[in-house]
């Protein structure tokens, strides 16, 4: 059900993310950006239909980010998001990452997966490179959360 994204998934990934971007819950991603970061993405697929997406972005030697986590509304509250996060965690461990962070509005969801709220200032400056592109910068209202992975 969860698999690596392919080029054929990019337009569906973009429309899924765009749904939540219109709600102000995610940043929109251009097709060019999605193709550039395609290897970061996984999809949750059932019967040929994509129900959800997520990305694991490597930020440094031991730090990764879960980003662009989205499950289409008809399929929420079914554990798909948790499965996507768990899959990202397994991949992070395989890559040798020791910590994962996320910037989110869904604090209770990520807390249920073992993430803890931190101050954004605890994240490395390298992470803020993407923030400079955001329409909300410098007044970001997302919540920074981090999890130490067990290997």
Number of domains in the chain: 1
Q: What is the largest CA-CA distance in the chain?
A: 43
User: What's residue 26's pLDDT?
Assistant: 86
User: What's residue 130's pLDDT?
Assistant: 63
Could you list the residue range(s) of the whole structural domain that residue 114 is in? 2-148
User: What's residue 142's pLDDT?
Assistant: 83
Residue 4 CB partners (closer than 8 Å, separation 6+): 39, 41, 42
Question: pTM value?
Answer: 0.90
Whether the CA torsion 100, 123, 119, 39 is positive or negative: it is negative
- What is the mean pLDDT, run by run of 10 residues, along the chain of 151 residues? 97 95 87 96 96 95 94 93 97 96 93 93 67 61 90 67
User: What's residue 121's pLDDT?
Assistant: 78
**Residue of 146, 87, 143 lying closest to 114 (CA atoms):** 146
Q: Give the helix ranges, DSSP H, for the chain.
A: 10-22, 31-36, 80-95, 107-111, 128-131
CATH for 26 = 3.40.630.30
User: What's residue 132's pLDDT?
Assistant: 58
User: What's residue 8's pLDDT?
Assistant: 97
């Amino acid at each position: 059900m969860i698999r690596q994204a392919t080029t054929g998934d990019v337009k569906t990934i973009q429309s899924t993310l765009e749904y939540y971007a219109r709600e102000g819950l995610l940043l929109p991603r251009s097709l060019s950006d999605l193709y550039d970061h395609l290897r970061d993405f996984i999809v949750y697929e059932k019967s040929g239909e994509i129900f959800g997406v997520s990305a694991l972005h490597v930020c440094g030697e031991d730090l990764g980010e879960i980003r662009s986590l989205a499950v289409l509304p008809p399929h929420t509250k079914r554990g798909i998001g948790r499965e996507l996060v768990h899959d990202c965690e397994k991949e992070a461990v395989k890559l040798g990452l020791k910590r994962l962070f996320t910037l989110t509005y869904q604090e209770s969801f990520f807390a249920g997966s073992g993430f803890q709220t931190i101050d954004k200032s605890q994240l490395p400056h390298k992470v803020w490179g993407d923030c400079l592109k955001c329409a909300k910068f410098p007044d970001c209202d997302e919540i920074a959360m981090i999890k130490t992975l067990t290997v």
